[in-house]
Structure 1
Amino acid sequence: MRIGLLGTGPWAGFVHAPALAAHPDVTFAGLWGRRPEAAAELAAVHGVPAHPTVDALLADVDAVAIALPPDVQAEYAARAAQAGKHLLLDKPIAATVDAARAVEDAAAASGVASTVFFTTRFGPTQRAWIAEQAAAGGWFTAHCHWIGSVFTTDSPFAASPWRQQKGALWDVGPHALSVLLPVLGDVEQLTAVPGPADTVHLVLRHRGGASSTVTLSLTAPPAASARGAALELRGAAGVTTLPERDTEAVAAFGLMVDALLESVRTGVPHPCDVRFGRRVVEVLATAEEQLLRGGK
């Protein structure tokens, strides 16, 4: 499969491009970026062509990996799907529910396969733990925190306009939901309360009857962001916690490529496909609306 990359920012350079270049079962066929000079530089690193337009890239590939801000990603993802290209998307897949549904509709109409890069879902240890807890059932409650210091350090992601606008809810919220939803069930009711800076607290009622609490932040003091991601379940089976991540992002992205190839081969949608990505956007948008209304 020939895969092209849309995007040239830090995440594209750190993860997408190296993973595509290293994968033994695909061809990294080139890339396109909104900044031609950045596209040329990243393309040169990996010895692939920098395409002058999106249409030129789409004409030369079977699938696209997209590393662009959510609002931009949605536009190009729908365009790629309409052109019959399989999709390797990043979370969140869009910045609005309407845009997420447009991507889902385009993928369904063209019959293309899709996977969304919820990093935790593609780590083998975490994936096995999630499947085990979902099968066990009987969970009473869960607590999760995803806490970082992106905006309080010299992180390369601190300058990201969409992260500055959307904050932790939209950046790390998808990671929390990607674990909670398959284990506890879909969200039926939620309450969102703001904390310091971009910090958000969520209380979720799940379809299976369990409840969960979630704390999200990108503005924690560096000392407060140690072991920034943790999730605990309590129920009939006792207490269990999500294993710490033991797969780096590049390797996890490679496993997502494997998942896309398998979905294309079998015709079976992956659990983290565009449909799941759209549902996550719906939950985030509901929480965002509450926050804008002062939590009501």
Structure 2
Amino acid sequence: MRIGLLGTGPWAHLAHAPALAAHPALEFAGVWGRRADAAKALAAEYGVRAYDDVDALISDVDAVAVALPPDIQAELATRAARAGRHLLLDKPLALSSREGRELVEAARESGAASVVFFTARFDPVISAWIGEQAAADGWFTARAEWLGAVFTSAGSPFAESAWRREKGALWDVGPHALSVLLPVLGDVTRVGAAVHGPGDTVFLVLEHAGGASSTLTLSLTAPEAASGNAVELRGESGVAVLPEGVSDAVGALSGAVDALLEAVASGRPHACDAGFALRVTEVLEAAEGVLGVGE
């Protein structure tokens, strides 16, 4: 499958380009970026074509991988979907449910397959753990903490990201936490509470369709020594704790590529497709609304 990369930022360098170039079932066909010089440099590193025109790249490939801010991703991925191109997307899908819905509808109408790169979901150990917990009944409550030090540690490549500074941890790491909780506890039926903490920290209380509740602590401004992720489930089966993953970013993204190829071959949507990512966006939007009411 010929695939093109949209984006030249840190995530494109750290994960997308190396994963696309190394995957045996892909032909890494080219790079487009908002800065032509950055696209040329990244393309030269991998011996592929740098495109000045994003639509020219879209017309030349079977699929696109997107490593762009979510508002830009939504617009360009929708154009690619309307052209029938399969989609390897990043989270969050979009910064509004309206934009996300347009993308999902475009993919459905054209028959384009999609996979959204929720990193934890493509780690084999974590994925297996999620499946085991989803098969168990009687969960009572869950606690999830996704604490990053993007804005507090020196030298973070994501610290100058304009959309992260504007939208904060809710939209950056919130999708990761939800991607683990939703398949186990069921859809979110209500955002019961949402309050601000220090920096961009957000605390959420969610009610789930399965009857359980969950609490989320999300931050990009945690002290570096306190950063990390944790999920704890409690219920009739006892206590289950999220295991440590085994994949780095490139390995996890390679797993997402495998999932996209399987979705294309089988015609069956992946659990982390754009439709699932749209639901995550709707929950984040609802939480943002509750936060706004309390301001």
**TM norm structure 2:** 0.98
SS in 1 for 2:252: helix
What 5-or-longer segments of structure 2 have no aligned partner? none
SS in 2 for 1:115: strand
Aligned 8 A contact 1:151 1:219 in 2: yes
- Equivalent of residue 194 in structure 1, options 193, 196, 199: 196
SS in 2 for 1:150: coil
Amino acid aligned to 2:190: Q
2:292 corresponds to which residue?
A: 292
1:54-203 map, 5 Å: 54-153=54-153, 154-190=155-191, 191-203=193-205
Deviating 4+ runs (over 2 angstroms): none
What is the distance in 2 between the residues matched to 1:243 and 1:293? Answer: 36
1:206-225 map, 5 Å: 206-225=208-227
What is the distance in 1 between the residues matched to 2:69 and 2:294? Answer: 26
Aligned 8 A contact 1:187 1:206 in 2: yes
CA RMSD of aligned residues (A): 0.7
The number of residue pairs the alignment matches comes to 293
**Per-residue deviation, residues 92-122 of structure 1 (Å, max 9, x unmatched):** 0101110000100100110110000000000
What 5-or-longer segments of structure 1 have no aligned partner? none
Is 1:29 paired with 2:34? Answer: no
What is the distance in 2 between the residues matched to 1:179 and 1:149? Answer: 21
2:257 corresponds to which residue?
A: 257
What is the distance in 2 between the residues matched to 1:293 and 1:165? Answer: 18
SS in 2 for 1:269: coil
1:223-242 map, 5 Å: 223-225=225-227, 228-242=228-242
**TM norm structure 1:** 0.98
Amino acid aligned to 2:183: P
Amino acid aligned to 2:120: T
Identical positions, percent: 66
What is the distance in 2 between the residues matched to 1:105 and 1:274? Answer: 10
1:276-291 map, 5 Å: 276-291=276-291
Aligned 8 A contact 2:124 2:245 in 1: no
SS in 1 for 2:50: coil
Aligned 8 A contact 1:147 1:217 in 2: yes
Amino acid aligned to 2:177: A
What is the distance in 2 between the residues matched to 1:155 and 1:111? Answer: 38
